[in-house]
Amino acid sequence: MATLSLETRRRLTLVATILGSSLAFIDASVVIVALPTIERDLDLGLTGEQWIFLSYSLALAALYLVGGALGDRFGRRRVFFWGVIGFAAASVLAGAAPNGATLIVARVLQGVAGAFLTTNSLALLRAVYAENAGRAIGLWTSFTSVAVLLGPPAGGALVEWVSWRWIFFLNLPVAALTLAAAVAGRCDERSMRREGRLDLPGAALSAVGFGALTYALVEGADKGFANVWWAGVFAVAALAAFVWVERRVAEPMLDFKLFRRRNFAAANLETFLVYGALYGQLVYVQLYLQFLGFSPFEASLLGIPASVIMIVLASRFGALADRQGPRLYLTAGPALIGCSLLLLLLVRTREDFWYFGVPSLLLFALGLSMLVAPITATALKSAPQEAAGIASGINSTVSRLGSLITVAVIGAVISVVFEHRVGDTGAVPLARGQTDEALRDASIVAFHTGILLAALLAFAGAGAAALWISDREARGELSEQAPAPAGS
C-alpha cells in the first residue's frame, strides 16, 4: 500500500478529531432528550435523571486538565486513541445497562474517556497543522456544530420509535471510523511533547471534592439534607485541601496566579455563572417540554432553529468583540439569556409554549450567540501565550463545574418545592404523563422556581461582565502590571 502524503494524513487526523469530538458532544445532549424515557423504563425518579447527566459532567470536569496534561506528555494521538476506545466500551455498558446504577457507572466511564478524547482533539490539530491550525480548527468547529445540531433529533427519533439504548450503541460504528482515521493519519509528534510531573493529588482532591458536593446536593433533595450532611463536610474539606495542594506543588493543575489577571478572573467567574444557567435551561426545559406533552422527537426538534441561529451568528459576534472589545457582548448576551428564561415563567401548557416558549428559545439563542466566542476568547487572550493550554483547560473545567453544580442545585430546588406542595407522595416532579391536577400544578410551580434561579445566574453573569471586564485589557492596551480602571 502506497504511503499517504502528509496532507492526506492531516485530513484524516481532522476527520478523526471531528468524529471523536462529536461522539462526546452528541452523547451529552442526546441523553437529555432520553431522560424521561429512561426514568420510566428504569424507575429512577428525578434524582436518578440528574445522576445520569451529572455523572458524565462530573467526570469531565474532574479530568479535563489531567487529560490535556497526559496528552502533552505521552502524545496527543495516543491519548485521543485510547479515549475513543474507552468511550466505545463505556457506551456498550450504557446501552446494555439493566438498571440505573449500572447506567450511572457507564456514564462516569464515558465522562472519563470523553475528557481524554475532547481535550486532545484540538491539541492534536494544533500539533499536526502547526501554522495552518486556524483553518483546521474552523472546519472542526463547523462540522462538530452540525453534528451537535443533528444529534438530538436523531436521538429523539431513536428514543421514540426504537429504544433509548440505541443512542449508546450507535456510538460503536462512529468510534470505529474515528480509530481508523486516527491510525491512518499518524504524524510525528515527539518534538511537541512536554516533560514534567502530573498533579495527581490535585486531580484526585478536585474529583473527590466536587463529587461529594454533587452528592450532597442531589441526594440531600431526595433523602433530606440532614441525612447527607457528612458529604457536605467532606466536600469542603477536600476542596480546601485541593487549594492548599495547588498553592504548594511545583506544577499545579490549577495555577492560581492566572486569576490575578482581571479579565481572566472575570471571564471565568462569568463562565461559571452563565454556563450554569445554560445547562439549567438545557436539562430542565427538555424535561418540561416532555412533561407538557411533547414527544421526545418533537422536543428535540424544537431546539433546531435556535441552534441554527447560534451557528450563523456566533462567529460574527466573536469578530465584533475582537474589534470593539468584549464587554458589551459579555454583558448583553447573558442579560438576553436571563430575559429568555423569564419568559418561560409564562409557560404552563403546551399551547402556552407556542406563544412564550418559542420566543424564549430564539432570545436564548441570540444571547448565547453573543456570549460563546467572546467569553472563551477573553479567557484565553488574558493569559500569557505560554499558559494558553492551561488557560483553555481552566475555562473548560469552570464551564463544566458551573453546569454540574447548577443542575444539581436546580434539581434540589425543584424537588424541595414539589414535595412542599404535595407532601411525600413518592411522585416524580416533571414526570411524563403526569395527569393528577395537584401533581401537575406542583411540577409547574417547581419548574418555574428552578428556572427563575437559572435566570438570576444569567443576570449575575451579565453584572460580572459589566463591572469587571476591561475592553482595554482585552485589546492589549494595558501592561500586565497595570490594573485596569473600573468600568474600562
Query: Domain boundary at 154, 186, 218, which?
Result: 186
Whether residue 240 sits in one domain with residue 260: no
Return the minimum-mean-pLDDT range out of 84-88, 257-261, 387-391, 450-454.
387-391
Question: Would you say residue 445 lies in a domain?
Answer: yes
Query: Domain boundary at 152, 186, 220, which?
Result: 186
Whether residue 21 sits in one domain with residue 161: yes
Whether residue 225 sits in one domain with residue 174: no
Can you tell me the distance from the alpha carbon of 89 to that of 115, in angstroms, rounded to the nearest whole number?
15
Whether residue 181 sits in one domain with residue 123: yes
Convert 101-136 to b/e letters by CB count within 10 Å (16 or more is b). Answer: eebbebbbbbbbbbbbbbbbbbbbbbbbbeeeeeeb
Question: pLDDT band for position 243 (50/70/90)?
Answer: confident
The position carrying cell 476568547 is 377
- Whether the per-residue pLDDT at 442 is higher than 90: the answer is yes
For 146-196, the pLDDT digits (tens) are: 777 777 888 888 888 999 999 999 999 999 999 999 888 887 654 444 445
Whether residue 271 sits in one domain with residue 210: no
Question: Would you say residue 191 lies in a domain?
Answer: no
Domain containing residue 477: CATH number? 1.20.1250.20
Whether residue 136 sits in one domain with residue 27: yes
For 218, half-sphere exposure in the C-beta direction (CA atoms, 13 angstrom radius) is 24
Which of 147, 153, 125 is closest to 25 using CA atoms? Answer: 147
Can you tell me the distance from the alpha carbon of 45 to that of 197, in angstroms, rounded to the nearest whole number?
43
Question: Would you say residue 195 lies in a domain?
Answer: no
pLDDT of residue 216: 83
Question: pLDDT band for position 479 (50/70/90)?
Answer: very low
Can you tell me the distance from the alpha carbon of 369 to that of 52, in angstroms, rounded to the nearest whole number?
28
Question: Would you say residue 192 lies in a domain?
Answer: no
Which of 282, 256, 262 is closest to 53 using CA atoms? Answer: 282
For 323-381, the pLDDT digits (tens) are: 888 999 999 999 999 999 999 999 999 999 999 999 999 999 899 889 887 887 788 77
Whether residue 288 sits in one domain with residue 226: no
pLDDT of residue 312: 81
Question: pLDDT band for position 480 (50/70/90)?
Answer: very low
Give the type of residue at 13. Answer: T
Question: Would you say residue 194 lies in a domain?
Answer: no
- Whether the per-residue pLDDT at 49 is higher than 80: the answer is yes
Question: Would you say residue 289 lies in a domain?
Answer: yes
Question: Would you say residue 428 lies in a domain?
Answer: yes
How many residues appear in the chain?
488
pLDDT of residue 481: 40
- What are the cell numbers at 266? 472575570
DSSP-derived 3-state class of residue 396: helix
Query: Which one is predicted more confidently, 485 or 477?
Result: 477
Question: pLDDT band for position 388 (50/70/90)?
Answer: low
Whether residue 261 sits in one domain with residue 238: no
Return the minimum-mean-pLDDT range out of 71-75, 240-244, 293-297, 386-390.
386-390
Q: What is the mean pLDDT of residues 207-216?
A: 81
The count of domains in the chain is: 3
For residue 65, the enclosing domain spans: 1-186
Query: Domain boundary at 215, 233, 252, which?
Result: 252
Whether residue 460 sits in one domain with residue 355: yes
Can you tell me the distance from the alpha carbon of 297 to that of 313, in angstroms, rounded to the nearest whole number?
26
Whether residue 241 sits in one domain with residue 349: no
Question: Would you say residue 193 lies in a domain?
Answer: no
pLDDT of residue 130: 65
Whether residue 413 sits in one domain with residue 321: yes
Whether residue 9 sits in one domain with residue 157: yes
